[in-house]
Amino acid sequence: MKKSSDFENILDACLERLVKGETVEQCLESYPELAVQLEPLLRTAQAAREVSAILPRAEFKARARYEFRSALQAATTKRRLPLFGLRRGWVMALMIVSILLVSGGGTAAAASNSMPDSRLYPVKLATEQVQLALTPSDMGKARLCTVLADKRIAEIIYMADKGDAQCVEVITQRLDERLTELTMLVSASEAGDTPQVLTEVPAEPPSELPEESTVAPPVPSEEVETVPVPAPVPSDKAIDDSNKGDSNKDDHAKNNNRAKLRVAVAVYAADHPAALRAELRRVPASVRPALRRAISVSEAGYKKALAALD
Amino acid sequence: MQDEESLVRRAKQRDEEAFTQLYEEYFDKIYRYVTLRVGDRMEAEDITQQVFLNAIKAISSFRWKGVPFSAWLFRIAHNQVVDYLRKKAKRATVVFEESLLTSDDDPQLVFEHKLDIKRLVSATKKLTPAQQEVISLRFAGEMSVARVAEVMGKSEGAVKALQHSAIVALRRVLSVA
């Protein structure tokens, strides 16, 4: 019994040495008295290690990664408090939206993960429109567009799995709109457009600012999207002085947000078409033309967005 | 990879980046393990994907009490495989394609590897379930004996004995084939 467990320990020690890159011969040299018994087992173990050459298909890997990320995001969103990280202005705006959605927040929340074949799907689309309208800066809207494009991709995959080519076409059209909007927003932001501050709910008439003060309103950072509270109008000098420091800070924040957005867009530019291509192999032939169009729309859309971001 | 314990702690708090790092670290290993156990590429893909989706759901219940994350993840994979095999009435079909191997390899080498792997998977199917489990965890999952013992709920000594008998049996099957 003892002898056999000794042999098992030696065999295991040799296997570990093979894993570390040693040869069978080197192992046998250490145990010449057991070489006859050990050699065939070590050769077999070496053959068994060939299994490490098995690799998942690239398409499967891309699709699996995409679905993993989607599931992770869904799980994370569920856990977050709905008003987490929002300031007073946003809380107020969201309260109004909640009241407008007569059926209450529960419906909106339930709708947020609904798919096109669900009765709640129109609520999801309407909520997205409200979100877009309430997002103050172009960069914030652009970021939201990428999130919405990601949702459209998940919907396309879902409906393609169900074999509904017509629905895939419709969602592809929505995807196209989002990506076009993304490119426009990014271009507008680059051209130096001032961010829109709740266009539907103007904070304060701009005419109250003195004529000399042609300073753009402070750019809300992406992390703190607040409705600006009108402050007492400072003197011209004070505006000039404070503006120098603020504009440096704002430029830095803006560049930082732009870089972050670029990373997100670059990831989606690779992942989304790959996930759709992987889907091509699984779906019925009748859905493939619609899916191919979705692939070309996503490729072209992200290409333009990335060009605008560069 | 960053310290695994801190990644797991962050993943438990739904830190997407941390969880994604763990995913990237284990994805190929889990896929190889599942492929060797079920012998069918399509099924292995579905099961592998499900393992990670289940991990997202269950991560909050993971406790780092001596059982490492890898053992926990492979146990999920093991349960998925056992569940699949139980449901599967007929024997799994062995389906291998060139895409199982890296595409930039020499074509001759790819062909030879393909044959080797096909033989190996077929041979593994002839072992007892416990022997299959040891071979899959040890060679496909690239786990140490200590980790395999944790996944299988056995002592290290028992795993070493099982490993010995599995290699002997594998050798016998391969030489007959």
Q: A235 falls in which pLDDT band (50, 70, 90)?
A: very low
Rg (CA), chain A: 29
* A20 burial type by CB count under 10 A (0-12 exposed, 13-18 middle, 19+ buried): exposed
Q: Is A73 an 8 Å CB contact of chain B? A: yes
> A48 vs B167: CB contact, 8 Å cut-off?
yes
Q: Tokens for B46?
A: 């579905």
Per-residue model confidence (pLDDT) at position B128: 93
Range with the poorest average pLDDT among A50-54, A62-66, A108-112, B65-69: A108-112
Provide the number of structural domains found in chain B.
1
Question: What ipTM was reported for this prediction?
Answer: 0.81
Would you say residue B61 lies in a domain? yes
Interface test with A, best of B16, B160, B174 (most A CBs within 10 A): B160
> Which one, of B25, B129, B66, lies nearest residue A68 by Cα?
B25
> How far from A38 is each of A11, B138, B162, CA to CA, in Å?
7, 18, 16
Does the beta-carbon distance from B164 to A54 stay under 8 Å?
no
- Asked if A127 and A108 touch (Cβ cutoff 8 Å), the reply is yes
Chain B environment of A20 (Cβ under 8 Å): none
Find residues 75-114 of chain A whose CB sits inside 8 Å of chain B: 75-76, 79
Residue of chain A minimizing CA distance to B165: A8
Residues in chain B: 177
In a domain, B143, yes or no: no
CB proximity A263 to B under 8 Å: no
Q: Does A28 touch chain B (CB under 8 A)?
A: no
CB A27 within 8 A of CB A51: no
- pLDDT tens for A165-196 read 989 999 999 999 999 889 888 887 765 544 33
> By mean pLDDT, which of A232-246, A261-275, B8-22 is the weakest?
A232-246
Residue B42 maps to a domain? yes
The parent domain of residue B53 ranges over 1-95
Q: Count of CB contacts below 8 A, A vs B?
A: 119
Query: Full-prediction pTM beyond 0.95?
Result: no
**CATH code, domain carrying B20:** 1.10.1740.10
Residues of B in contact with A54 (CB under 8 A): 31-32, 35-36, 100-101, 117, 140
Res B162: pLDDT: 95
Question: Could you say which residues from 6 to 25 on chain A have a Cβ atom under 8 Å away from some Cβ of chain B?
Answer: 7-9, 11-12, 15-16, 19
CA B144 to chain centre: 13
